[in-house]
Chain A
Amino acid sequence: MAFLFYLLSGIALLSALMVVLSKSPINSVIYLIVCFLSIAGHYILLNAQFLAVVHIIVYTGAIMVVFLFVIMLLNLNKTNEPHKSVLTKFMAVISGGMLFLVLIAAAKGVNEMIVAKEFDANIGLVANLGKVLYTDYMIPFEASSVLFLSAMIGAVMLGKKDKK
C-alpha cells in the first residue's frame, strides 16, 4: 500500500509543476484537475472517504468547471502571454525553494506530536463527521452560510456591467 502513496504523490507533484510551467491556461486547468484527483486518492488512503467524495464534487466538478467556463467565455486561451523577466523568474524559484527548506526545518520532529491513541478507522465516515459538524461546530457552520451568501452577492455585484 505504501507504493500507492508514492505513486499518487509523484502524480500530484508532477501535475502541480506542469500547472505552473504549461503555456496555455486550458492545459493548466487540466493538469490541476489531475492534481486534485490524486489528492482525492490520498484522502481515500487516509480513511477520509467523505472528504474524498466532497473534494471530487466541489473541486473537480464545480470549481474547475467554472475556471474552464471563464477561460472559454473570455477567450483567454492564448499562449503568447507576456512573461516576467528571467531574473524575476529565477528569484521566484529561489524564494520558493527557500520557503520549502525553512518549512521542512521548522517541521522536524513532527512524529513526537502524535499522541498515541486508539486508531479509529471510522472517523472519516459521513455519520461521524456529521455528528461532529452539527454538535461541536454548529456556529461556524451557520457562519459559513452567511459567508456563501455574501460571496454570492459580491460575485453578482462585481460581474454586473456598470451603466455609464
Chain B
Amino acid sequence: MENITSAIRIIPLEHYLFLCLALFSIGVIGVLFRRNTIVILMCIEMMLNSVNLLLAAFSSYRSDPSGQVFVFFIMVVAAAEVAVGLSILVMMKRNVDSIDINLLNKLKD
C-alpha cells in the first residue's frame, strides 16, 4: 500500500495531463473520422473517461475529495447518456435500416 501511495509523488502532474489530453484528442478524432454511429458513441465515452481521469488526478494531487465526487457524477451522466444514445441508435436502425451517421442530415435543410 505504501508503495502505491508513493507513486504519485514521483510522476509529475503534467504527465497525467498529457495522457488525458491525448486520450481526449483521440476521441475527437474518432468522432470526426468514423461514420459508424456506435463507434462515435464509444469515442464520446472515451472523451468522458479522459476527463474523469484528469479530475481524479487533480483531486489526488491536491488531496481534495471533491474531484472524485465529480467523477462519480460524470459516471452517472455517462450511464444515462449511453442509455438514451443506444435507444436512439436502435430507433435509427429500425427506421432507416442503417447506422450511417451521414444519413441523419435532414435537419440541415
Interface residues of A (CB under 8 A from B): 1-2, 4-5, 9, 12-13, 16-17, 19-20, 25, 28-29, 32, 35-36, 39, 42-48, 50-51, 54-55, 58-59, 62-63, 66-67, 70-71, 73-74, 76, 81-84, 88-89, 91-93, 95-97, 99-100, 103-104, 107, 110-111, 114-115, 117-121, 123-124, 128-129, 132-133, 136-137, 140, 144, 147-148, 150-152, 154-156, 158-159, 161
Contacts and interface: CB of A to CB of B under 8 A. Distances in A.
Interface string B29-57: 11011111011011101100100110011
B13 A81 contact: no
Contacts of A104: 18, 21
Contact of A158 (B27, B41, B60, B87): B87
A81 B33 contact: no
B107 interface: no
A155 B62 CA distance: 38
A44 B13 CA distance: 16
Contact of B68 (A4, A42, A51): A51
Contacts, number: 237
B11 A107 contact: no
Given A13-B22, A32-B45, A132-B69, A45 B8 contact: yes
Nearest to B99: A76
Chain B interface size, as a band, is 35 or more
Given A70-B89, A103-B24, A147-B76, 20 more contacts: A19-B30, A20-B43, A28-B38, A35-B46, A39-B52, A43-B53, A47-B5, A51-B72, A58-B75, A58-B79, A66-B83, A73-B90, A74-B90, A81-B35, A95-B28, A96-B32, A132-B65, A155-B86, A158-B90, A159-B91
